[in-house]
Every structure is written in C-alpha cells, then in structure tokens.
C-alpha cells in the first residue's frame, strides 16, 4: 500500500456524546491555495543534521525498554544532546530550513502552551486570519508551525526557518511518543487543534500518537508538500487529520 494511503488509515473518532465540550464544527478562514511549485518532502533517516532533540524526564527509562538494539542505541545518542522538554520550544528554536526535530519516548502535554494566552482575549472565538494565528499561535493550537514570516505583503510563501521541518518520534512504536490534549479543570477541551502546520511547506510528521482535541489532532493548511507517516490520531471531536489547500 502506498505510504500516504497507509498513513491515513486511522481512527477519526467523534465523541460528541461521550466527552465534554462543544460539538459544533470549527470554522476556518478562507484558504489561499499554494501555487503548486512545492514537492512532497523526502524522509531524512536518523540521525539527520541539523537536528534538535526533545525528551522527557523518563525518556531514559523508556529508551531502555526499546526492543530494537540499534534503535535503542540511536535513542541513547540523541538523549545525550536533548535540550528541550516541549516540542513547541524546539520549533521556536529552529534556525535553519531542513531541520529535523527528534522527539524521544514520553508523554508530551506541552504545559506552557495549554492555557489560553493573554493575546487570545482580543480575538474572541471563531475564524482567525493567518496573521492572527501567527501572532497568537496558542489561542487555538497546542503546537503551532508557521512558515510564512511576512504575511503582510499579501503573498503566500514559506520563508521561515521552520520550512521543510521534519518531526519524528524515535520509539519503536507510534504510541511510544504521545501528544495529548484532553481537558482543563472546568471540563472543557484544553485546545482546539494539536499540531498545526500553516503555510509550512515540506512538513514531515512521523511515528507518533496524538489524541484528545476538540478540533483536529494534526491540522495542515495552505501547505505545499507534506507527509504524515506512521501517525496515530485518536479520540478527537472532529478529525484525526485535517489537511486542505
């Protein structure tokens, strides 16, 4: 089976009756189509350069349980150079196009970005422009990847350092790296979307599990060339993967 077809064989569960929170569909801005000059990104095998490593406090213990000896050793090497414990912090630290972010085994809640940011107070609910998403990335998204750094010139482009970004979980099963949204103390959804790639040409997401979002677990919009490979999306109120334009 082709990679894309295999990748998109997923469970997109709608839990309207079983889970708290609003069930109304999320509205999105009118999309601007890319010009089609991009291409499907090619996977960069481990360990690719340049790279940034993300890990959790218990990643070392979880690496010891990896059955594949070669993969276990690669994870040990990556753990030694781990600088971040949140994916968003690693995304923010990308300095060069074509960077790979390796996410070591663990559960990632992205704690600094779960609560509603102050910038969201002036936005309200509903449709946000690209500029509003860029300037307030966590109003709706747990992790935001935005490739157009100069949207004010009215020309859609991917010119930021995060273009051609590869995000790869390093476990021997997608469930070894888990991103989870879930609910806040009031019982409402913590975030609408999980990982958002917006005008992020060349985005490659591989080998992880992402769950429990009011909208979409992975949301790719106005992106010219992307791959979602060996990713499990589950228990979301709308879609596991939503990609268009």
Whole-number Å distance between alpha carbons of 199 and 32: 10
- What Å distances lie between residue 74 and 62, 87, 100, CA to CA? 13, 19, 15
b/e code 89-111 from CB counts within 10 Å (16+ = b):
bbbeebeebbbbbbbbbbebbbe
Q: What is the pLDDT of residues 95-125, one digit of tens each?
A: 999 999 999 999 999 999 999 999 999 997 7
Give the ranges where 87-187 is alpha helix by DSSP (H). Answer: 87-93, 130-135
Q: Which residues have CB under 8 Å from 109's CB, separation 6+?
A: 179, 180, 182
Q: What is the pLDDT of residues 166-203, one digit of tens each?
A: 999 999 999 999 999 999 999 999 999 999 999 999 99
């Amino acid at each position: 089976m082709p990679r894309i077809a295999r990748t998109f064989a997923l469970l997109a569960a709608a839990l309207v009756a079983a889970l708290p929170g609003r069930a109304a569909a999320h509205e999105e801005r009118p999309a601007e189509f890319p010009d089609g000059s991009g291409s499907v990104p090619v996977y960069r095998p481990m360990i690719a350069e340049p790279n940034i490593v993300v890990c959790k406090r218990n990643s070392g213990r979880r690496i010891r349980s990896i059955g594949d000896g070669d993969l276990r050793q690669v994870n040990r090497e990556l753990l030694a150079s781990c600088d971040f414990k949140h994916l968003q912090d690693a995304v923010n630290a990308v300095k060069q196009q074509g960077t790979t972010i390796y996410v070591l085994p663990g559960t990632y809640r992205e704690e600094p970005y779960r609560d509603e940011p102050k910038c969201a107070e002036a936005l309200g609910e509903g449709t946000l422009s690209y500029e509003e998403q860029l300037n307030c990335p966590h109003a709706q998204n747990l992790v935001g990847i935005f490739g157009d750094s100069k949207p004010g010139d009215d020309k859609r482009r991917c010119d930021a350092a995060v273009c051609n970004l590869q995000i790869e979980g390093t476990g021997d099963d997608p469930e070894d790296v888990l991103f989870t949204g879930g609910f806040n103390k009031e019982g409402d959804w913590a975030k609408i979307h999980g990982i958002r790639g917006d005008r992020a040409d060349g985005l490659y997401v591989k080998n992880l599990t992402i769950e429990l979002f009011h909208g979409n677990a992975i949301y790719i919009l106005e992106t010219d060339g992307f791959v979602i490979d060996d990713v499990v999306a589950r228990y979301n109120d709308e879609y596991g993967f939503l990609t268009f334009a």
